[in-house]
Amino acid sequence: MKSSKLWYGLLVIPFIATLFPGLYNRLEPHIFGMPFFYAYQLIWTVFCGVLLAIFIFATREKTDAR
């Protein structure tokens, strides 16, 4: 593996951000017409996909195309 273990920190960010629902368990403000609770989770779902793509491209090993 060519990269350091710091890339694994990207995978911890969404886990910590959604670990304590008491921080985002509220109805107001409405975002895109949804209560904040659902919008927060939906935004983190999309953001988690972006972080996962960054992690995969950063940690994959180069292969020779012969």
Rounded to 10 degrees, the C-alpha dihedral 31/36/37/41 comes to 40
17 falls within a domain: yes
Supply the range of the domain harboring residue 18.
5-59
Q: Report yes or no: 11 and 51 within 8 Å, Cβ to Cβ.
A: yes
39 falls within a domain: yes
Give this prediction's pTM: 0.74
Assign 7 a pLDDT band (cuts: 50, 70, 90).
Answer: confident
How many domains does the chain fold into?
Answer: 1
Per DSSP, 29 falls in state S
Phi then psi dihedrals of residue 51, to 5 deg: -65, -40
65 falls within a domain: no
21 falls within a domain: yes
Question: Distance between CA 47 and CA 49 in Å, rounded?
Answer: 5
66 falls within a domain: no
Structure confidence by residue, pLDDT tens digits, 17-58? 889 888 888 888 988 899 999 999 999 999 999 999 998 888
45 falls within a domain: yes
19 falls within a domain: yes
